Amino acid sequence: MTALWAILLRDMRIAVRIGGGALMGVLFFLAVVTLIPFAIGPDQALLRKIGPAILWLGALLASLLGLDRLFAADHEDGSLDLILMGAASLELTVAAKGLAHWITTGLPLVLAVPVLGLLLDLDPLAIGAVALTLLAGTPALTFIGMIGAALAVALRRGGLLLPVLVLPLTVPVLIFGVSAAETAVIGPLMFGTPFLILCALTLMSLVIGPFAAAATLRQGLD
Amino acid sequence: MNLGPHAAFILAAYAAAIVVVAGLVAWVILDFRAQKRVLGDLEAHGVTRRSTALKEPA
Amino acid sequence: MALIDLANPTRFLNFAERVLPWLVAATLFAFAIGLEQALFVAPDDYQQGATVKIMFLHVPCAWLGMFCWGLMTVAALGTLVWRHPLADVAAKAAAPIGAAFTFLCLFTGSMWGRPMWGTYWQWDARLTSVLVLFIMYLGLIALWRSVEDPGRAGRAAAVLTLVGAVNLPIIKFSVDWWNTLHQPASVFRIGGPTIDKSILVPLFAMAIAFTLLFLTLHLAAMRNEILRRRVRSMQMLRVFADEDMRQIESRA
């Protein structure tokens, strides 16, 4: 257990230190939420209507952006090889890294929602709904994304390959996340269904992500 | 054969199918010829695969 | 000769060479029947008119797009679980063919949609899921091409294929759900409330013809891939042989 705890703390410390990877995600989130009204127009009513969708899209893209941080830095300085050779289970280690990544990248996005929601003139109920669904959904984005991050880790010219691989897999999370956020506003009675499915997707990703990522890392770095 | 008022779309669909299938067939055939040619060149230059080299008398 | 003997690439090449001509003949024959059925025998649909003939292309292509991913999934298991030597060859050969048929499914769907819906595209549940599938195909092909070593590329692609296979039903379900949430149900069905036999027979005929076409193309592509790997290993041998010669000569 101490090994996993050590990895968790180490990754969190690095994320906060180098390049402020944690805050970069929030800044990108802000940038996207600011850009969209430029494209759509300042129509308050329209922005309020699609506000939950804008917030979810921004959070999705911001999550995606931070994913290559998951394995790339470790791969470059060789610590990934050490991790692979280590005694701790690779799946659990990768899960610990994913948890650290979510705490430093995903969670700040959730905390930024109240502020950004004000930019889109959302009422407190809508803001709360978006924040809750993002809280439930951003772990899924991180853990699904880690599969793409593992696949792309050895590719120097990875570029946009990682997002292209990950985005189709995140479609269900996006659909149910936005749907849950919207039905919370329209009618709380329907909120349960999409929200529970969202939670189910997250739970599944917590299992599938580490297994797939670990398998990839093992195969790819032989 | 009367294709009705939307004949253009029906024809476009079948034309696309022909183009795509022809493209796949062409890819498969041209790739085969290219690989055969390169293999022939390599063998002409005396490069052999391990399994054929082993069969030759020492 | 047992199926396991085909794991040997040389034996597989011989097998492919013997079987391909028959497959080509069977494909041509099946298409002759299928096209005759689809173009001349099938009646016009009471709702869609002659555009139902597009369905005879669209549905088989949709079926092939999914069948191909299923085939690649089995191949992926072959690579990762059973370490079958030709599994990743099968997977790599299948991907572009599956992507092509998925694209054709989207295009024919669009051609069918324009007369029916009035637009070239609509975020209909089926078409949208196929669009996501198409993007996944392209991502997979990009992954194949981004790793130099075929073995490593095969293993990475195998993981992605399996993850995709698990996700595809989930994506289909989500898109279905999303679609019913945002649109009233107005489903165009081929031939009315239930598919009439006069439409079903040409559909099956075309489906069989397309499947034979896929198998033919796949077998030929596998053959090409095996040859390509031979070329690669021989070229590497030649580089080493040249290097050896240079060292011998420089010492002499």
Whether the pLDDT of residue A93 is over 50: the answer is: yes
C-alpha distances out from residue C99 to C12, C122, C241, Å: 25, 21, 39
Q: Does C8 touch chain B (CB under 8 A)?
A: no
- Given this model, what pLDDT does residue C74 score? 96
- Given this model, what pLDDT does residue C44 score? 78
Q: Does C195 touch chain A (CB under 8 A)?
A: no
Q: What's the gap in Å between the CA of B3 and the closest CA on chain C?
A: 5
- Rounded to an integer, the average pLDDT of C97-116 is 93
- Those residues with Cβ within 8 angstroms of residue A189's Cβ, 6 or more apart along the chain or in another chain: none
Q: What's the gap in Å between the CA of B47 and the closest CA on chain C?
A: 6
- Rounded to an integer, the average pLDDT of C128-145 is 92
Q: Which two tokens stand for residue B5?
A: 């008022």
**Sequence letter at residue A6:** A
Residue A30 DSSP SS3: helix
| Other CB atoms within 10 A of residue A21 CB | 18
- Given this model, what pLDDT does residue A188 score? 66
Of the candidate ranges B49-58, C71-80, C111-120, C130-139, the one whose mean pLDDT is the lowest: B49-58
Per-residue pLDDT reduced to its tens digit, C167-200: 889 988 888 888 877 665 444 444 444 667 788 8
Q: Please provide the distance, in angstroms rounded to a whole number, between the alpha carbons at the two ends of chain B.
A: 70
Q: Does C131 touch chain A (CB under 8 A)?
A: no
Whether the pLDDT of residue C148 is over 90: the answer is: no
- Given this model, what pLDDT does residue B58 score? 45
Among residues of chain A, what percentage have pLDDT more than 90? 48
Interface test with C, best of B1, B10, B18, B32 (most C CBs within 10 A): B10
Mean pLDDT of chain C: 87
Domain coordinates in residue numbering, chain C? 3-42+49-184+195-251
Alpha carbons within 13 A on the beta-carbon side of C117: 16
The verdict on a CB contact (< 8 Å) between C234 and B49 is yes
Q: Which residue of B has its CA nearest to C240?
A: B47
Whether the pLDDT of residue C100 is over 80: the answer is: yes
- Given this model, what pLDDT does residue A156 score? 62
**Is C142 within 8 Å of A151 (Cβ atoms)?**
no
Is ipTM strictly over 0.95? no
- Rounded to an integer, the average pLDDT of C56-75 is 95
Among residues of chain C, what percentage have pLDDT more than 70? 92
- Given this model, what pLDDT does residue A158 score? 64
Q: Please provide the distance, in angstroms rounded to a whole number, between the alpha carbons at the two ends of chain C.
A: 51
Taking CB atoms and an 8 Å cutoff, what residues of chain A touch C143?
151, 161, 165
Q: Number of B:C CB contacts under 8 A?
A: 97
For residue A166, give the nearest of C171, C244, C146, C2 by alpha carbon.
C171
- Given this model, what pLDDT does residue A154 score? 64
The verdict on a CB contact (< 8 Å) between A165 and C139 is yes
The verdict on a CB contact (< 8 Å) between A175 and C178 is yes
Angle at alpha carbon of residue C237, lines to C231 and C241, rounded to 5°: 140
Q: Does B23 touch chain C (CB under 8 A)?
A: yes
Q: If pLDDT is split at 50, 70 and 90, which confidence band does A66 have?
A: confident
State the Cα–Cα distance between residues B35 and C13, nearest whole angstrom: 13
C-alpha distances out from residue C172 to A210, C74, C144, Å: 23, 20, 25
Q: Which two tokens stand for residue C192?
A: 């009315």
The verdict on a CB contact (< 8 Å) between B35 and C231 is yes
Whether the pLDDT of residue A212 is over 70: the answer is: yes
Burial class (CB in 10 A: 0-12, 13-18, 19+), C170: middle
Whether the pLDDT of residue B28 is over 70: the answer is: yes
C-alpha of A139 from chain center: 6
Whether the pLDDT of residue A3 is over 60: the answer is: yes
Q: Which residue of B has its CA nearest to C227?
A: B35
Alpha carbons within 13 A on the beta-carbon side of C138: 14
Q: What's the gap in Å between the CA of C181 and the closest CA on chain B?
A: 30
Interface test with C, best of B1, B14, B54 (most C CBs within 10 A): B14
Whether the pLDDT of residue A30 is over 50: the answer is: yes
Taking CB atoms and an 8 Å cutoff, what residues of chain C touch A216?
155-156, 159
Whether the pLDDT of residue C205 is over 90: the answer is: yes
Q: What's the gap in Å between the CA of B6 and the closest CA on chain C?
A: 7
Specify the residue for token string 């096209």: C35
Angle at alpha carbon of residue C132, lines to C148 and C69, rounded to 5°: 60
Q: Which residue of B has its CA nearest to C111?
A: B9
State the Cα–Cα distance between residues C70 and C73, nearest whole angstrom: 5
Taking CB atoms and an 8 Å cutoff, what residues of chain C touch A176?
174, 177
Domain coordinates in residue numbering, chain A? 2-220
Sign, Cα dihedral of A171, A172, A173, A178: positive
Alpha carbons within 13 A on the beta-carbon side of C76: 25
Q: Does A2 touch chain C (CB under 8 A)?
A: no
Taking CB atoms and an 8 Å cutoff, what residues of chain B touch C96?
24, 27
Whether the pLDDT of residue A197 is over 60: the answer is: yes
DSSP structure class, residue A70: T
Q: Computed over its alpha carbons, how large is the radius of gyration of chain B? A: 23
Q: Number of A:C CB contacts under 8 A?
A: 77
| Other CB atoms within 10 A of residue A211 CB | 17
- Those residues with Cβ within 8 angstroms of residue C99's Cβ, 6 or more apart along the chain or in another chain: C134, C137, C138, C141
C-alpha distances out from residue A25 to A105, A142, A172, Å: 6, 13, 22
State the Cα–Cα distance between residues A142 and A70, nearest whole angstrom: 9
| Other CB atoms within 10 A of residue C245 CB | 10
State the Cα–Cα distance between residues A48 and A120, nearest whole angstrom: 6
The verdict on a CB contact (< 8 Å) between A220 and C156 is yes
Q: Does C1 touch chain A (CB under 8 A)?
A: no
Which residue stretches of chain A are H helix?
A: 2-17, 21-40, 44-66, 72-77, 79-85, 90-101, 107-119, 124-152, 161-186, 192-220
State the Cα–Cα distance between residues B20 and B15, nearest whole angstrom: 9
The verdict on a CB contact (< 8 Å) between B28 and C107 is no
Of the candidate ranges A170-179, C53-62, C229-238, the one whose mean pLDDT is the lowest: C229-238
Per-residue pLDDT reduced to its tens digit, C67-93: 999 999 999 999 999 888 899 999 999
Whether the pLDDT of residue A222 is over 80: the answer is: no
Q: If pLDDT is split at 50, 70 and 90, which confidence band does B57 have?
A: very low
Q: Which two tokens stand for residue A80?
A: 């990934």
Per-residue pLDDT reduced to its tens digit, A135-185: 999 999 999 999 999 988 866 666 678 888 999 999 999 999 999 998 887
DSSP string, chain C: --GGGGGSHHHHHHHHHHHHHHHHHHHHHHHHHHHHIIIIISPPBTTTBTTHHHHHHHHHHHHHHHHHHHHHHHHHHHHHTS--TTHHHHHHHHHHHHHHHHHHHHHHHHHHHHHHHSSS----HHHHHHHHHHHHHHHHHHHHHH-SSHHHHHHHHHHHHHHHHHHHHHHHHHHHHHHHHHS------TTSSS--HHHHHHHHHHHHHHHHHHHHHHHHHHHHHHHHHHHHHHHHHHHHHHHHHHHHHHH-
- Rounded to an integer, the average pLDDT of A52-80 is 88
Mean pLDDT of chain A: 88
Among residues of chain C, what percentage have pLDDT more than 90? 51
Q: Does C224 touch chain B (CB under 8 A)?
A: yes
For residue A196, give the nearest of A180, A174, A175 by alpha carbon.
A180
Burial class (CB in 10 A: 0-12, 13-18, 19+), A190: middle
Q: Does B31 touch chain C (CB under 8 A)?
A: yes
- Rounded to an integer, the average pLDDT of C43-54 is 78
Of the candidate ranges A49-58, A67-76, C42-51, C144-153, the one whose mean pLDDT is the lowest: C42-51
C45, β-bridge pairs? C49
- Those residues with Cβ within 8 angstroms of residue C170's Cβ, 6 or more apart along the chain or in another chain: A172, A201
Q: Does A168 touch chain C (CB under 8 A)?
A: yes
Interface test with C, best of B28, B31, B39, B43 (most C CBs within 10 A): B28
Alpha carbons within 13 A on the beta-carbon side of C35: 10
**Sequence letter at residue A55:** L
Q: What's the gap in Å between the CA of B53 and the closest CA on chain C?
A: 12
